[in-house]
Amino acid sequence: MPTPQPNPFRPSFGVSPLVLAGRGDLLSGFPLALLEGPGSPLRTMLVSGPRGSGKTVLLNELEEAARTQGWIVLRAYPGADMLTDLTATEIPRALAALDEDRPARRITGASIAGLGSVRTETTEPEHRPAATLISVLRTLAERLRTHGTGIVISVDEVQSADPEHLRAVATAVQDLVRDSHDVAFLAAGLPAGITALLQHPGTTFLRRAELVTLGPVTAEESAAAVAETVAAGGREITSEAVELIAARAHGYPYLIQLLGSLAWAQASLEESAEITAGTVEAILPHAVSRMGRQVHAPSLHGMPDSQLAFLVAMARVADADGRAATGDIAAELGVAPNGISTRRRALIDADLVTPADYGFLRFTLPYLREHLLDTHA
């Protein structure tokens, strides 16, 4: 068969796929918000979702939309030096990129036709106040105003950031908004991290932000992404294989890329020019196993034993679709139905389970039930 291009699927966290499945409304609305002017609600966006739901990819796409319009993107990385990096490195680098004017120089002497030497001196203020996040952001915003653009500050994995650092960034953004500067703030994280950010007493400004909870993409969007990616890679895929990948991915962006990548690799192993339903069936166990290692295990890491016991009990009584009655879960745990309410609420807040009709719960992550049964048999 003709040698195809390298595997076009990208099952790596935070790496933008060749073809993005869904999220069209958000990606079309954000560029409009940047052109609306200060105060547009979509300029402050908090993106929440479980691991692998596409939070970082969405941030990447929103950042690129801003760059296309000439905006400066500042990424604030969670860590002990987040504020220092912004104030002393990232913002000065952005200012330098704008070719900031050098300090004015004036001639204090002359050397014309032997009439002496030339001396110059730099005119600078004798006292410079210490730079703060707000002051350097304001300087950058004022420079960008002459260009008709603004600043986007983005923070990924907010659950890993120091709450006081986030408060400082939110305060700075609010200060610029009050003075009608063009600034946008984008943050993404696990549900618990977004909730903690909104509950911090110093970030009340963000409670008016656009809250985006990333749910599954549709089967049609999944299928379209698979078909377009395979075609771009120079291979063929049957309609049955496309539909099977879309069905087994359950609208989960990471799983779409993972199934596509493994199916592509399996076809290469078989030296086949076409991905078939049989190709997909062959790699399904590998996909479920990798989901367990890459998504489920990190999601369960550090979880209190009582909550983990709840999930294991739920896995044991759930049907094949991951749906379980809360009464059956309580019975499996050997407690009264009202004895599981606290754990139930905590797991819903963690986006690991979700209500499914009255008195029922469903696993949020695809194949989490299978992972729990396999690891806690």
What residues have CB less than 8 Å from 301, skipping those under 6 apart? none
Same domain (yes/no): 154, 255: no
Lowest mean pLDDT among 25-29, 66-70, 212-216: 25-29
| pLDDT of 124 | 54
CATH of the domain at 37: 3.40.50.300
Same domain (yes/no): 150, 226: no
**Overall average pLDDT of the 139-156 stretch:** 93
Write down which residue in 182, 213, 244 finishes a domain. Answer: 213
Residue pair 214/85 in contact by the 8 Å Cβ criterion: no
Cα–Cα distance, 268 to 273 (Å, whole number): 8
Question: 198 lies in a domain?
Answer: yes
pLDDT band at 105 (very low <50, low <70, confident <90, very high): very low
**Overall average pLDDT of the 37-45 stretch:** 87
Same domain (yes/no): 282, 332: no
Write down which residue in 273, 300, 327 finishes a domain. Answer: 300
Same domain (yes/no): 204, 243: no
Question: 247, 222, 226, 252: which is closest to 238 by C-alpha?
Answer: 226
Question: 248 lies in a domain?
Answer: yes
Question: 254 lies in a domain?
Answer: yes
Cα–Cα distance, 152 to 222 (Å, whole number): 30
pLDDT over 80 (residue 17): no
Same domain (yes/no): 167, 315: no
Same domain (yes/no): 186, 233: no
For the chain, the C-alpha Rg in angstroms (whole number) is 26
Structure-token pair, residue 170: 């939110």
Question: 114 lies in a domain?
Answer: no
Same domain (yes/no): 187, 231: no
**Overall average pLDDT of the 49-64 stretch:** 90
pLDDT band at 164 (very low <50, low <70, confident <90, very high): very high
Could you write out the DSSP letters of every residue in 213-271? E--PPPHHHHHHHHHHHHHHHT-EE-HHHHHHHHHHHTT-HHHHHHHHHHHHHHHHHTT
Same domain (yes/no): 159, 227: no
Same domain (yes/no): 146, 285: no
Question: 90 lies in a domain?
Answer: yes
Q: What is the pLDDT of residues 296-312, one digit of tens each?
A: 999 999 899 999 999 99
Range of the domain at 290: 219-300
Q: What is the pLDDT of residues 318-340, one digit of tens each?
A: 998 899 999 999 999 999 999 99
pLDDT over 60 (residue 70): yes
Tokens 């979702």 map to which residue? 49
pLDDT over 90 (residue 156): yes
Q: What is the pLDDT of residues 166-224, one digit of tens each?
A: 999 999 999 999 999 999 999 999 888 888 888 888 888 888 888 988 888 899 999 99
Strands 44-48 and 210-213: what pairing?
parallel
Query: CA 311: distance to chain centroid?
Result: 26
pLDDT band at 233 (very low <50, low <70, confident <90, very high): very high
Cα–Cα distance, 155 to 65 (Å, whole number): 16
Question: 362 lies in a domain?
Answer: yes
Same domain (yes/no): 192, 335: no
pLDDT band at 131 (very low <50, low <70, confident <90, very high): confident
Same domain (yes/no): 158, 290: no
Same domain (yes/no): 142, 281: no
Give one word for 237, left, alpha or beta, with left for phi > 0 and alpha for psi -120 to 50.
beta
CATH of the domain at 342: 1.10.10.10
Number of domains in the chain: 3
Structure-token pair, residue 271: 């030296």
| pLDDT of 100 | 53
| pLDDT of 272 | 93
Question: 122 lies in a domain?
Answer: no
